[in-house]
Chain A
Amino acid sequence: MSLARHWRLQNQRYRLLGVQCEDCGARLFPRRQVCPRCKSQNLQRYQFGGEGKVYSHTVVYDAPAGYEGFVPYIGALVELEEGPLIAAQLTDVDIDDVQIGMPVEMVTRRLRQYGEDGLIVYGYKFRPKLKEAP
């Protein structure tokens, strides 16, 4: 476990902080140094709103080390409202209720812990949107 690596990723994991390309307008998550669309290096911090839709999903029964406590869980690709696709777990939803296109919103949850005496890692997951805008 690298405490420093987890610490460096916090802004990205806690708040969906990405970048926006100042030349072509592409919004990117996770953060990059170079815009994959126009190769510009003129990228500014961009705060994503946290809303999106389920693009695809799969049920994970055989989890990697550190995630065993959550099985079975749902891994998904979520298409953020601002464009990017991101991989994340879905939470607060029953496996049978997940559907492609389902509106979801970002929440901060426990991603994993390094044993009973180690670091607890927090980060984004997505859950079915709690309340529709009126």
Chain B
Amino acid sequence: MMKPNREVGIVGYGAYIPRYRISAAEISRVWKMGEDTLHLEEKAVPGLDEDTATIAIEAARNAVRKAKIDPQKLGAIWLGSESKPYSVKPTATIVAEAVGATPHTTAADWEFACKAGTEAMQAAFGFVGSGMVQYAMAIGADTAQGRPGDQLEYTAGAGGAAFIIGPREESMAYLEGSHSYVSDTPDFFRRPSQHYPTHGSRFTGEPAYFTHSLMATQYLMDQLGYGPQDYDKVIFHQPNSKFPVRLAKRLGFAPEQYEDGLLVPVIGNAYAASSALGLAAVLDKADVGERILLASFGSGAGSDAFSFVTTELITRGRNPLPGVADYVTRRREIDYARYARHRGKLSMY
């Protein structure tokens, strides 16, 4: 189990979800695939002027306001994403500039499919825990795309969540310990020049999602001496509605433990922001002294598991700062034609 010498935790966090939604029924109307196979109602779609950078900026601004810290004290701005606006040129420097953290700071983009955001979080705990910096920000943000007509088109959503890691004394939730589990598993990938990813259909389930998430979670609970009954809330990566529920049940968690963090039916799979947004939603509602388990999953493949306990600071900034629920209820439904335009699937030239 991983735990830094110096006690650390989450001193602030923020979320963002774009305003537009397309329903599974509308996608199915075009592609005739059977809308209920993945149990999604709708997914979030970025606006014409949104991308991973703008999504990350709003989540990061919310996090800075929640933490009530001077952004100049952020020693790291780390952004995990698979949908960067530039292939070469960090997105993190755009975010760092926008939140006012530049120039005496580190900034970088992280890559590990859907767990790039929690990978950055894992490193941020180490960076703060070693005493190298006072605060570090880890962000997961994505505007992922599926090939038109592919199963992924029903699920690939958009969103972002940012976490400011700092000393335990200032934390809204402190870290009890974490664990990561990775292997070379080619369940899902995209080559550099390709617009859309390739996935192994059934192969993405058992050897990839379930094995890695289960191993990371079970190992962390064993090391901490906890069982599922010791947790108030649990959040897993949410590529569709079925996987996280099946995983939770297999590990012995009940619906009241996983439902608060399950956002995929209403926003889709936000990739690097998926489990991170689930954590933000849980923290938005949590009381003092709740134990929370987070386990991400990223294809290729791996899982990061974290155990947190909320402190008496947990309600800081809950009002008037926008929470996950405010973004979920702010919605404007669009049809497939408008969706195609928003996602750059229409060529103007």
Contact = CB atoms under 8 A, between A and B. Distances in A.
Given A91-B49, A108-B58, A125-B49, A10 B322 contact: no
Contact of B332 (A70, A89, A94, A110): A94
A132 B330 CA distance: 13
A4 interface: no
Interface residues of B, number: 25
A31 B138 CA distance: 32
Nearest to B54: A109
Contacts of B85: 120
B50 interface: yes
Question: In terms of DSSP, what is the predominant structure of the interface of chain B?
Answer: loop
B54 A108 contact: yes
Contacts of B326: 130-131
B98 interface: yes
Contacts of A70: 48-49
A69 B19 CA distance: 18
A55 interface: no
A64 interface: no
Nearest to A71: B48
Interface string B158-189: 00000000000000000000000000000000
B124 to A, nearest CB: 23
B320 A92 contact: no
Nearest to B51: A110
Contacts of A94: 332
Interface string B301-321: 000000000000000000111
Nearest to B85: A120
B98 A132 contact: no
A122 B54 contact: yes
A10 B97 CA distance: 8
Given A68-B348, A130-B322, A109 B50 contact: yes
A89 B97 CA distance: 21
B49 A109 contact: yes
Contacts of B50: 109-110
A14 interface: yes
Nearest to A128: B330
A15 interface: yes
Given A68-B348, A108-B54, A92 B47 contact: yes
Contacts of B332: 94
A91 B47 contact: yes
Interface in B90-109: 94, 97-98, 100
Nearest to A124: B98
A65 interface: no
B105 to A, nearest CB: 15
B98 A14 contact: yes
Interface string B21-54: 0000000000000000000000000011111011
Nearest to B50: A109
A68 B48 CA distance: 11
A1 interface: no
Interface of B: 19, 47-51, 53-54, 57-58, 85-86, 94, 97-98, 100, 319-322, 326-327, 330, 332, 348
18 contacts: A10-B97, A14-B94, A14-B98, A15-B97, A15-B98, A69-B48, A70-B49, A91-B47, A92-B19, A94-B332, A108-B54, A109-B47, A109-B54, A120-B51, A120-B85, A131-B326, A132-B320, A133-B320
Closest 7 CB pairs of A and B: A109-B49, A14-B98, A133-B320, A110-B49, A92-B19, A134-B319, A108-B57
Interface of A: 10-11, 14-15, 68-70, 89, 91-92, 94, 107-111, 120, 122, 125, 130-134
